[in-house]
Amino acid sequence: MLVDCKAMAGAGLLVTAETSWKSEDLSAQQVLQVARVATETARRAAGHAHCEGALGERPGTVDRTEWTKRPVSRATGTCRGVVTGREAARLRVTDVTEKPAGRALTEQCDLNRGELDLFSMTAYYGPSAEEEMYLDGRHPGTVKGAYTRTIECGGAIGTAYFKLVRVKDKAADGAVGTHGTNDPAALKRVLESYATASGTRHDCPAR
């Protein structure tokens, strides 16, 4: 959990909870208990530090939805509002792979052509953005050919970081490589749409 907190370094309080087991080995009730430990810890820490950020309510469920692939026109999660029908046709994108949209510190949207992966976009917020930008700065070769965008959000989120990469995949004819368009203008438009859609959900509108 990330809470706005002017009294803390970085203007935010980050609380995480981990278990020694893999999340897929935990029951729904066990995952819920971990989430409740995190929220209660955040509530107490925020009160101690006199944080001003809203904490929300004690969770009643935890969304464990797996990745879902669906046609572009039926995107409802992290890919919703990212690609118009006209843009999809221009890019020869037929499907998206997504998860439910929320306010996670890291979220992803993949664009596909049938079984072929074309592009992957990721949004990073708060500490996730700081870490990713630091790693990309230390290892610039890992982002060669990628498209990036930042938005200043303020508060605990700070700078949001968005990245689009062309994915290497194996085509039906056996050819391995990046099969999506390499048109910079088109890819920048898609990334801008993704940053706008994701940023709006995080109260961080693109400017």
Q: What is the pLDDT of residues 26-44, one digit of tens each?
A: 787 887 787 778 788 777 8
168 membership: H or E segment, kind and range: strand 168-170
Give the pairing type, strands 168-170 and 158-166: unpaired
Range with the lowest mean pLDDT among 127-131, 157-161, 178-182? 178-182
Residue 159, strand partner residues: 152
- Give me the pLDDT at residue 100, please: 92
Give percent of the chain with pLDDT exceeding 90: 45
Cα–Cα dist 75/65, whole Å: 15
Domain positions in the chain: 2-49, 68-201
Cα–Cα dist 11/14, whole Å: 10
Confidence of residue 175 (pLDDT cuts 50, 70, 90): low
Cα–Cα dist 204/207, whole Å: 9
